Amino acid sequence: MLSKSQAKWFLIAATVGFSLVFLFLTVDTVSQVDERTNGDALTEEVAAGKRIWDKNNCMGCHTILGEGAYYAPELTNVVDRRGEDFIRTFLRDPQAMFPGRRKMVQYDFSEEEITEVIAFLGWVGNIDTNDWPPEPPLAPERVVVSSGGGAGPALADAPEVFDSTCSACHSVEGQGGNIGPALDTVRDRFDADSLDAWLKDPQAVKPGTAMPNLQLDDATRAAVVQWLLGQE
């Protein structure tokens, strides 16, 4: 049992010791802020995107860095998950991307504002969060389906739009998303004209389909059709 004097000095020593530890951890944390939060990449464009984020109360539906609501998708790593092109197309017209499904407000952002929002989200995605949020552990395994009519599209030859946008939902050779069907056997189901019509306006071909209208220009659609059908 400690005497009153010993208890007094034990309390003082413990208080000083833990205070020093707290001060050390505080200094260590503050010294890492710029490096871990990409301080050098905090441009005016990023700041403008943050102002748009706050002005439109995006956190009222979305979560970012663990803060916000859980009504809409978590956006900490959205640029890595979806890509800039997908986000840009979505923000132009959320309803056109997912007819009848998305409840995202149409904010009528200008192209400059969309670029600023993407810059902000990209900056957030590069913050060192110790790999949080983690990858979903229960994602279904992707299955590669062989084409009965010959070799399917080669992933190495994919047009840029597949990597930036289409792969968010579709896969080729087992690489990409699994929300929509794999595209390895597209050539067995479509010819050039029907595939082009589908990509141009999915709702016109199949009302109520989950396939969004990506508003692809003629040249991009032609490149996708040629690739998927394996044409020279």
Instruction: Return the domain boundaries, the chain.
Output: 39-125, 155-228
pLDDT given at position 231: 57
Sequence-distant (6+) residues with CB within 8 A of 69 are 59, 60, 61, 62, 63
- State pTM to two decimals: 0.69
Reading the block at residue 104, the tokens are 């995202």
Query: Across residues 153-177, what is the average pLDDT?
Result: 88
> Is there a contact between 65 and 191 (Cβ–Cβ < 8 Å)?
no
Tell the CATH topology of 39-125.
Answer: Cytochrome Bc1 Complex; Chain D, domain 2 (1.10.760)
User: According to the CATH classification, is domain 155-228 in 1.10.10.10?
Assistant: no
Distances in Å between the alpha carbon of 126 and those of 39, 42, 52, 99, 197?
11, 11, 19, 31, 38
pLDDT given at position 34: 79
Say yes or no: do domains 39-125 and 155-228 share a fold. yes
Q: Give residue-wise pLDDT tens across range 124-148.
A: 999 988 777 776 665 555 544 444 4
Q: Give residue-wise pLDDT tens across range 12-60.
A: 999 999 999 999 999 998 888 878 888 888 899 999 999 999 999 999 9
Peptide bond connecting 136 to the previous residue in cis, omega within 30 degrees of 0: no
Q: What is the dihedral of CA 102, 105, 111, 117, to 10 degrees?
A: -90
